[in-house]
Amino acid sequence: MSKVMNEKIIPVLKQIKPLDQEAMNRTKERLDSLTKPRGSLGRMEALAVQLAGITGDFFPVNSRKKVIVMAADHGVVKEGVSAYPQEVTLQMIANFVNGGAAINVLARQAKAELKIVDIGVIEDVNLPGVIGAKIRCGTGNFVREEAMSRLQAEEAIAVGISIAKEAVGSGVKLLATGEMGIGNTAASSAVMAALTGYEPLLVVGRGTGLNDQQLKHKVEVVKKALAVHKPDPQDPVGVLSKVGGLEIAGLSGLILGAAAERCPIIIDGFISTVAALVAIKIAPLAAAYIIPSHLSQESGHALLLNYLELIPYINLEMRLGEGTGAVLAMHLVEASARILREMATFAEAGVSGREKVKERCASAVKKY
């Protein structure tokens, strides 16, 4: 367990337990009895087993699903690390509220609820339906000062935990992470480099579509920030406070809260996976509750997934964020639940199983 000291967080970390092995064994037995060769549905079967281990039973079909989009601004935008200006954060939140963004379209298709959280937008967000949980108005420019105080990082984590617990308490069975914040790939790259030891050159990506010269500059910005603050890789909350983002901290808390409530949580792309990295560094058992949705085109994402030993389910060359990849993976979760609950066993279908086939083969051999 890391150095997290916030009294709202410590009890939650103690709630996170290993997966239910008995439920996983029951699920494996049922999968092996279905009308198919053993293991023939590949990772869909492994997903069903993981879901059973998380929830303690076969995962329910048509579960309530919710994607949480954490929104925040980043002071490092002043260093020219984004192709878009900072005001786009608020403009995109308005687009979410009006139902016009990609995440709206995909959430509607998946029949998933969408909730936007203002955890650190620099401007006032007076829009209907947006959860106001602002810790501060954007982070500091981490090249020149710490992104936030340690207390603020812990408060942002606590916000995520609270939202997860409230969602599960209201009947949500599947959560997904999303984010919005101009400049957040720079912060995510800095956090990843600090916690993994990877060189910034390997983890810093083009984000909003930087050209080669802009990308080179972004790498140098992250290098400079790490040199200035020298964040301790053994202290994930300290790393967040020095070079992180409020939405990254909030999503880390969302993951921890979901794990504490034994609720599966699908992570989106690079930023969400960095949040998962922080959560796992804080509470290693949380890793078992995470479902990796897709492989982002951000250059650090494949490295980070490999570091965390997570294999994404989808590769559509996406890099939008917002939770779009996570919501697409909701269909796979429902499919794995349907296979387990609705597919017939050999006995139910009256189909000869493996043992019966072996008996017939042995009998035929004896005749000759």
* 129 phi, psi to nearest 5 deg: 85, -10
197 CB-side CA count, 13 A = 3
- The catalytic position among 45, 179, 298, 322 is 322
Cα-based distances in Å from 307 to 189, 196, 257, 318: 14, 8, 22, 20
Quote the pLDDT of residue 201.
Answer: 97
Residue 248 located in a structural domain: yes
Residue 202 located in a structural domain: yes
Domain of residue 77, residue span: 63-338
Quote the pLDDT of residue 361.
Answer: 45
Residue 122 located in a structural domain: yes
Residue 279 located in a structural domain: yes
Residue 80 located in a structural domain: yes
Residue 73 located in a structural domain: yes
In this structure, what CATH number is given to the domain that contains residue 285? 3.40.50.10210
pLDDT tens digit string along 89-125? 999 999 999 999 999 999 999 999 999 999 999 999 9
Q: Provide the domain count of the chain.
A: 1
Note down pLDDT in tens along the chain; length 368 residues: 456 667 779 999 999 999 999 999 999 999 999 999 999 999 999 999 999 999 999 999 989 999 999 999 999 999 999 999 999 999 999 999 999 999 999 999 999 999 999 999 999 999 999 999 999 999 999 999 999 999 999 999 999 999 999 999 999 999 999 999 999 999 999 999 999 999 999 999 999 899 999 999 999 999 999 999 999 999 999 999 999 999 999 999 999 999 999 999 999 999 999 999 999 999 999 999 999 999 999 999 999 999 999 999 999 999 999 999 999 999 999 999 999 999 999 999 888 766 654 555 455 445 54
Helix axes 270-282, 236-243, angle to 10 degrees: 140
pLDDT tens digit string along 29-82? 999 999 999 999 999 999 999 999 999 999 999 899 999 999 999 999 999 999
Cα-based distances in Å from 312 to 19, 47, 109, 325, 337: 20, 11, 21, 10, 18
| Residue carrying the six token digits 């914040």 | 181
The yes-or-no answer on residue 322 being catalytic is yes
Residue 17 located in a structural domain: no
Structure tokens at 284: 């290693």
Residue 7 located in a structural domain: no
Which pairs with CB-CB distance under 8 Å and at least 24 residues apart come from 299-302? 299/202, 299/203, 299/204, 299/205, 299/206, 300/188, 300/189, 300/192, 300/198, 300/202, 300/203, 300/204, 300/205, 300/270, 301/205, 301/269, 301/270, 301/273
